[in-house]
Amino acid sequence: MNLTSDLQSFVLHFGEMGSRWGINRTVGQMYALLFLSENPLNADQISETLNLSRSNVSMGLKELQAWQLVRLQHLPGDRKDYFSTPEDTLDIALTLIQERRKRELDPTLSLLRDTLLDSDGAESNGYAYGRMQEMCDLMEQVARWSDKLQQMDRNSLENVLKLANVTHKLIGLKANWSLKSNPDRS
């Protein structure tokens, strides 16, 4: 398969960005290719289009599956595995948030909770433990916020993004009211 210049650029760019996103260059390229492709692709097609070894593509696809960023499917009358990305970009964004949280937040949150729970050292070095507590609190809030996002329906989610500017005003005006109208919250 051959890519036009624009698509080629996008794929290469995505590869470079990949390293900033915690995936490597070739995995980034594979993802970009699948994202742009109207039809699902098999490993050989990817390998050929991007000039990567078949084994590298196999590992890359495994990683993309671990990230839940591609889905495996089969085409009728073809034994090969085919891969594609979700059609809805919002779905993709949600997955990205969830997976990054899992990798970047949860391990630290877990360590902080453990440390703070059985810390007799809390008095001996008050400042540092206070700091860890602050970080823990903040991370818990972000984690809860991420959970909420995942639960929201598509429509509300679009509104959260579109109306970010409005939310600010709403909260400013209505924060107290909101609390009152939700008496089931501690």
**Interacting residue ranges for DNA, rule: CB under 7 A:** 19, 24-27, 42-44, 51-56, 58-62, 78-81
Phi-psi region for residue 77, left (φ > 0), alpha (ψ -120 to 50) or beta?
Answer: left
Answer with the entry of DNA, its own copies, none that 42 interacts with (C-beta below 5 to 8 A by kind): DNA
CA 73 vs. chain centroid, Å, equals: 22
Contact 15, 29 (CB under 8 A): yes
Closer to its own copies at the Cβ: 53 or 160? 160
For 30-43, b/e burial (b = at least 16 CB within 10 A) is bbbbbbebeebbbb
Dihedral of alpha carbons 18, 24, 29, 34, sign: negative
Residue 47 and residue 55: Cα distance in Å, rounded? 9
Answer with the entry of DNA, its own copies, none that 52 interacts with (C-beta below 5 to 8 A by kind): DNA
- CB of 129: closest distance to its own copies in angstroms? 8
**Interacting residue ranges for its own copies, rule: CB under 8 A:** 4, 6-7, 9-10, 13-14, 17, 20-22, 35-38, 89-90, 93, 103-104, 107-108, 111-112, 115, 119, 121, 124-125, 127-129, 131-132, 134-135, 137-138, 141-142, 144-145, 148, 152, 156, 159-172, 174-175, 178-179, 181-182, 185
